Amino acid sequence: RLAIADSNEAAQQNLEHRTGTSIEAIKQAFLENLFFVQGKPVALATKHDYYMALAHLVRDRMLYRWNGTAESYTQDRCRTVCYLSAEFLMGPHLGNNLINMGIYDQVKAAMEELGLDFEDLLAQEVEPGLGNGGLGRLAACYLDSMASLEVPSLGYGIRYEFGIFEQGISQGWQIERTDKWLRHGNPWEVARPEWATEVMFGGHTESYTDAAGDYRVRWVPSQEVLGTPYDTPILGYQVDTANTLRLWKAEAIESFDFEVFNQGDYYGAVEEKVSSENLTKVLYPNDETLAGKRLRLKQQFFFVSCSLQDMFRILKGQTIPVEEFHEKFSIQLNDTHPAIASAELMRLLVDEYHLDWNIAWEITQQAMAYTNHTLLPEALEKWPISLFGSLLPRHLEIIYEINTRFLELVRMRFPKDSARLERMSLIDESGERYVRMANLACVSSHTINGVAKLHSELLKQTVLKDFYELFPEKFCNMTNGVTPRRWIALSNPRLTKMVTEKIGEGWLKELEKTKQLESLATDSGFQDEWHEMKSAAKRELAGRIHQQFGVLVDPTSMFDVQVKRIHEYKRQHLNALHIVTLYSQLKQNPQMEILPRTFIFGGKAAPGYHMAKLMIKLITSVGEMANKDPDLRNQLRVIFLPNYNVTNSQRVYPASDLSEQISTAGKEASGTGNMKFAMNGALTIGTLDGANVEIRDAVGAENFFLFGLTADEVAKMKFEGYTPRDYYLGNPYLKDAIDLIASGHFSHGDGSLFQPLLDKLLYQDPFMLLADYQAYVDCQRTVSKAYQDQRRWLEMSILNASRMGYFSSDRSVQEYCQRIWKVSPAPVDIDRYIKVSG
Per-residue binding letters, 538-577, with ligand NBY (x by CB under 6 A): ----------------------------------------
With beta carbons less than 8 A apart as the criterion, state whether 507 and 500 touch.
yes
Q: Which is nearer to ligand NBY, 306 or 478 (CB)?
A: 478
Question: Could you confirm whether 273 is annotated as catalytic?
Answer: no
- To the nearest whole angstrom, how small is the minimum distance from the Cβ of residue 663 to ligand NBY? 8
- To the nearest whole angstrom, how small is the minimum distance from the Cβ of residue 309 to ligand NBY? 23
Per-residue binding letters, 649-688, with ligand NBY (x by CB under 6 A): -------------------xxxxx----------------
Q: Per CB under 6 A, which region of 167-175, 304-312, 374-382, 528-536 contacts ligand NBY? A: 374-382
Q: Per CB under 6 A, which region of 23-31, 287-295, 644-652, 696-704 contacts ligand NBY? A: 287-295
Helices (H), 20-46: 23-36
692 counts as binding ligand NBY under rule CB under 6 A: no
- To the nearest whole angstrom, how small is the minimum distance from the Cβ of residue 311 to ligand NBY? 24
d(CA 226, CA 196) in angstroms, rounded, equals 7
Question: Could you confirm whether 745 is annotated as catalytic?
Answer: no
- Which residues 380-409 are close enough to bind ligand NBY by CB under 6 A? 381
- To the nearest whole angstrom, how small is the minimum distance from the Cβ of residue 358 to ligand NBY? 32
H or E stretch at 527 = helix 524-549
SS3 call for 251: strand
Question: Could you confirm whether 792 is annotated as catalytic?
Answer: no
Q: Which residue is nearest to ligand NBY (CB)?
A: 134
- To the nearest whole angstrom, how small is the minimum distance from the Cβ of residue 565 to ligand NBY? 7
Nearest residue to 96 via CA among 593, 669, 508, 623: 508
Handedness of CA 646, 650, 651, 653 (dihedral sign): positive
With beta carbons less than 8 A apart as the criterion, state whether 181 and 160 touch.
no
Q: Which is nearer to ligand NBY, 311 or 691 (CB)?
A: 691
286 counts as binding ligand NBY under rule CB under 6 A: yes
Pairing of strands 204-209, 215-220: antiparallel
- To the nearest whole angstrom, how small is the minimum distance from the Cβ of residue 574 to ligand NBY? 17
d(CA 830, CA 68) in angstroms, rounded, equals 5
d(CA 157, CA 402) in angstroms, rounded, equals 26
With beta carbons less than 8 A apart as the criterion, state whether 370 and 442 touch.
yes
376 counts as binding ligand NBY under rule CB under 6 A: no
Site size toward ligand NBY (CB under 6 A) is: 22
- To the nearest whole angstrom, how small is the minimum distance from the Cβ of residue 772 to ligand NBY? 18
Q: Which is nearer to ligand NBY, 131 or 227 (CB)?
A: 131
Per-residue exposure over 624-650, b if at least 16 CB sit within 10 Å of its own CB, e if not: bbbbeeeebeebbbbbbbbbbbbbbbb
480 counts as binding ligand NBY under rule CB under 6 A: yes
Handedness of CA 484, 490, 494, 496 (dihedral sign): positive
Which of 179, 288, 344, 466 binds ligand NBY (CB under 6 A)? It is: 288
Question: Hey, how many other C-beta atoms are within 10 angstroms of the C-beta on 102?
Answer: 12
Greatest extent of the chain over all pairs of C-alpha atoms, in Å = 93
SS3 call for 330: strand
Which of 96, 124, 132, 491 binds ligand NBY (CB under 6 A)? It is: 132
With beta carbons less than 8 A apart as the criterion, state whether 370 and 336 touch.
yes
Q: Which is nearer to ligand NBY, 52 or 89 (CB)?
A: 89
**Annotated active-site residue in 296, 298, 446, 564:** 564
Q: What is the DSSP letter of 102?
A: T
727 counts as binding ligand NBY under rule CB under 6 A: no
Question: Could you confirm whether 676 is annotated as catalytic?
Answer: yes
157 counts as binding ligand NBY under rule CB under 6 A: no
Per-residue exposure over 280-291, b if at least 16 CB sit within 10 Å of its own CB, e if not: bebbbbbbbebe
Question: Could you confirm whether 564 is annotated as catalytic?
Answer: yes
DSSP string, 213-250: S-EEEEEE-SEEEEEEEEEEEEEPTTSS-EEEEEEEEE
Q: Per CB under 6 A, which region of 40-48, 127-135, 239-247, 402-410 contacts ligand NBY? A: 127-135
H or E stretch at 206 = strand 204-209
Q: Which is nearer to ligand NBY, 121 or 817 (CB)?
A: 817
Which of 339, 426, 451, 574 binds ligand NBY (CB under 6 A)? It is: 451
Which of 15, 54, 138, 541 binds ligand NBY (CB under 6 A)? It is: 138
Which of 373, 395, 446, 597 binds ligand NBY (CB under 6 A)? It is: 373
- Tell me phi and psi for residue 611, to 5 degrees: -65, -40
Tell me the angle at which helices 755-763 and 610-628 cross, rounded to the nearest 10 degrees. 110
- To the nearest whole angstrom, how small is the minimum distance from the Cβ of residue 143 to ligand NBY? 14
Which of 30, 51, 66, 284 binds ligand NBY (CB under 6 A)? It is: 284
Question: Could you confirm whether 672 is annotated as catalytic?
Answer: yes
228 counts as binding ligand NBY under rule CB under 6 A: no
Q: Per CB under 6 A, which region of 23-31, 312-320, 372-380, 709-717 contacts ligand NBY? A: 372-380
Q: Which is nearer to ligand NBY, 153 or 672 (CB)?
A: 672
**Annotated active-site residue in 565, 571, 637, 760:** 565
Q: Which is nearer to ligand NBY, 328 or 460 (CB)?
A: 460
Nearest residue to 63 via CA among 18, 111, 117, 129: 18
With beta carbons less than 8 A apart as the criterion, state whether 144 and 95 touch.
no
Q: Which is nearer to ligand NBY, 133 or 157 (CB)?
A: 133
**Annotated active-site residue in 59, 455, 474, 570:** 570
d(CA 495, CA 536) in angstroms, rounded, equals 11
Angle at 371 between CA 365 and CA 372, to 5 degrees: 125
Which of 150, 287, 310, 660 binds ligand NBY (CB under 6 A)? It is: 287
Give the start-end residues of each E strand in 64-178: 80-84, 88-89, 129-130, 153-158, 166-170, 173-177
**Annotated active-site residue in 672, 687, 745, 760:** 672
The count of C-alpha atoms lying within 13 angstroms of the C-alpha of 492, restricted to the half-sphere facing its C-beta, is 33
d(CA 516, CA 88) in angstroms, rounded, equals 34
- Tell me phi and psi for residue 210, to 5 degrees: -80, 180
- Which residues 735-754 are close enough to bind ligand NBY by CB under 6 A? none
Which of 133, 236, 393, 654 binds ligand NBY (CB under 6 A)? It is: 133
Q: Per CB under 6 A, which region of 105-113, 258-266, 280-288, 519-527 contacts ligand NBY? A: 280-288
What residue ranges bind ligand NBY (CB under 6 A)? Answer: 132-135, 138, 284, 286-288, 290, 373-374, 379, 381, 451, 480, 668-672, 690
Catalytic residue numbers read: 373, 564-565, 570, 672, 676
